[in-house]
Amino acid sequence: MADVHIISIDGVLVVTLPAVSDDRMAERLVEQVGERLVELAARAVLIDVTNARIIDSFMGRVLAGLAGAIRLLGAEPVMVGMRPEVAITMVELGMDLGGVATALSIEHGLAGLRARAGRRM
Amino acid sequence: MLDTAPTPIPALLRRDRPETLRAWSEYLDRELRVPHIDRRTVDEFCSGLYDGLVEALENGRATLSDGLQSLLSALSVEFAERGLTPSQTATFVFSLKHVLNERYENAAPTVIGLHKLIDAMGLHSMDAFIGRREQIIRRQSQELLDLSVPVVPLWEGILSLPIIGTLDSTRAQAITEKLLFEIARTGSRYALLDISGVPTVDTQTAQHLAKTVAAAKLMGAECVVTGIRPAIAQVMVTLGINLSNIETRFSLAEGLRHCFARLNLSVVRGP
């Protein structure tokens, strides 16, 4: 079964999506991330889509919903590692992620979060 | 067909072959100057066509044999590559008619079959000529497309993409793909799209740019559109093109300055 991996680095949750996502996984995604977020009091969530080769309109909506839920819980969502072909397809389909922050990789994402946190303090 | 001539046409043509070929060669020299092609090649084509024609007449065929067709194709390809015009190519084939007419003036009615064959030859050479030209055009536009997408790293983490020429949907797609793959490959966070080389910007061009920027943004890279000339800015405002959610700068240098600022880099003059 395709499953989501959630790990925590330095107060930041990293959610890794599987290569192929099914509807059941998508349904449980928000729930699982929400639980871990509250449990660890994370300040940001990196949604790693490096493995995802296909993001269709359903998955696009799921991701936008996930980002919205993370914001509601007071954390910052960052989409990381989207593949070029996936990005092109999403733009061609007219999908956007509602202004969610993005980064090239988990590394870049963490660096960006650190830089922003530094500025705030 | 009226057959009043004492000698059948094919036999007549065979008999007169050397003289007719010489007459044809002289006619070509006089009427159609083809300096780009050497004599031997022309003479080879002439005798080949002549023999093919005689053979077709002997067999009573009204269509071109495969051998004749491929010879005509070879001829047209040669002419197209040497930069001859379509009418020169057609004239080359049709001139055989003039030569034969001059020679067998009295037997004109009996050579209707001959005329039909030469017409078919001319038409075939035209098709082959145009086919070759189209092939050349397609190859060139592909080469142009390959040449026209240079993605240049300007600084660590900063790519630049100078766009030169009109931005149509095919090019926009090629450019977007190349840029995104380069972003992924080099892990660059910034890309400067320089449009100083784009002659006009219409709503479609702007839409292509917006899509490229949006796709890069999804990947986590920020694009800056630079090189917007005052005249183009004015046109864009008049057309109601809104690029307000895209970072734009007047020049490539300004765009680079913006990226430096975002990367927390500063350029300092030496002591």
pLDDT tens, residue by residue, A103-121 = 999 999 999 888 887 765 4
8 Å CB contact of A83 and B184: yes
pLDDT of residue B35: 66
Alpha-carbon gap, residue B255 to B223, rounded angstroms: 9
Residue linked to tokens 């909506």: A61
> Does residue A99 or residue B219 have the better pLDDT?
B219
Per-residue pLDDT of A52-89, as tens digits, reads 888 888 888 888 889 999 999 999 999 999 999 999 99
**Identity of the amino acid at A54:** I
CA dist list (Å): B177 to A54, B6, B150, B151, B171:
16, 73, 12, 11, 10
Q: Are residues B171 and B245 in the same domain?
A: yes
For an interface test with A, the pick among B182, B219, B245 (most A C-beta atoms closer than 10 Å) comes out as B219
Q: Are residues B131 and B181 in the same domain?
A: no
Q: Which of A85-89, B129-133, B147-151 is predicted with the least confidence, judged by mean pLDDT?
A: B147-151
Average pLDDT value for residue range B170-193: 91
> Does residue B190 or residue B106 have the better pLDDT?
B190
Give the rounded percent of residues in chain B with a pLDDT score beyond 70: 93
Residue B160's beta-bridge partner residues? Answer: B152, B192
> Does residue A2 or residue B65 have the better pLDDT?
B65
Asked whether residue B267 is domain-assigned, the answer is no
- Mean pLDDT score of chain A, rounded to an integer? 87
Q: From B190, B209, B211, select the one nearest B258 (Cα to Cα).
A: B190
Q: Tell me which residue in A82, A86, A108 faces B189 most closely, judged by beta carbons.
A: A108
8 Å CB contact of A104 and B177: no
8 Å CB contact of B180 and A84: yes
pLDDT of residue B158: 95
| Angle formed by the axes of helices B230-239 and B203-219, nearest 10° | 100
Alpha-carbon gap, residue B242 to B246, rounded angstroms: 9
Query: Chain B contact for A82, CB < 8 A?
Result: yes
Asked whether residue B53 is domain-assigned, the answer is yes
Q: Are A69 and A33 in contact (CB under 8 A)?
A: yes
User: Looking at B112, B143, B174, which one is the last position of a domain?
Assistant: B143
Chain A residues touching residue B217 (CB < 8 angstroms): 102
Per-residue pLDDT of B5-37, as tens digits, reads 456 777 888 888 888 888 888 888 887 776 667
Task: Provide the CATH number for the domain around residue B165.
Answer: 3.30.750.24
pLDDT of residue B34: 66
How big is the CA angle at B141 (ends B140 and B143), to the nearest 5 degrees?
65
Sheet of strand B247-248: strand arrangement: B152-155, B158-164, B190-197, B222-226, B247-248
Task: Provide the CATH number for the domain around residue B74.
Answer: 1.10.490
Q: Are residues B121 and B227 in the same domain?
A: no
Query: Chain B contact for A102, CB < 8 A?
Result: yes
Helix, strand or coil for residue A20?
A: coil
Q: Fold for domain A5-120?
A: Transcription Regulator spoIIAA (3.30.750)
Alpha-carbon gap, residue B226 to B123, rounded angstroms: 52
| B11-18: Cβ within 8 A, 24+ apart | B12/B104, B12/B107, B13/B50, B13/B53, B13/B54, B13/B57, B14/B54, B16/B103, B17/B50, B17/B54
Q: Are residues B104 and B168 in the same domain?
A: no
8 Å CB contact of A96 and B216: no
Q: Are residues B24 and B110 in the same domain?
A: yes
Q: Are residues B156 and B139 in the same domain?
A: no
DSSP assigned state of B67:
H
Query: Chain B contact for A113, CB < 8 A?
Result: no
Average pLDDT value for residue range B79-98: 84
CA dist list (Å): A89 to A84, B75, B219, B263:
9, 47, 12, 29
User: Looking at B120, B143, B166, which one is the last position of a domain?
Assistant: B143
Q: Are residues B137 and B17 in the same domain?
A: yes
- Residue B133, domain extent: 9-143
**Identity of the amino acid at A90:** M
Average pLDDT value for residue range B118-135: 87
- Mean pLDDT score of chain B, rounded to an integer? 84
Asked whether residue B4 is domain-assigned, the answer is no
Q: Which of B169-178, B217-226, B246-255 is predicted with the least confidence, judged by mean pLDDT?
A: B169-178
Q: Are residues B161 and B134 in the same domain?
A: no
Asked whether residue B3 is domain-assigned, the answer is no
DSSP H or E run through A119: helix A106-120
CA dist list (Å): B203 to B177, B240, B241:
21, 8, 6
**Identity of the amino acid at B164:** I
User: Looking at B143, B174, B191, which one is the last position of a domain?
Assistant: B143
Instruction: Break chain A into its structural domains and give their ranges.
Output: 5-120
Domain count, chain B: 2
Chain A residues touching residue B187 (CB < 8 angstroms): 104-105, 108
Q: Are residues B14 and B112 in the same domain?
A: yes
For residues A68-93, one letter each, b for 16 or more C-beta atoms within 10 angstroms of the residue's C-beta and e for the rest, the string is: ebbeeeebbbbbbbbbbbbbbbbbee
Q: From B151, B158, B161, B209, select the one nearest B187 (Cα to Cα).
A: B158
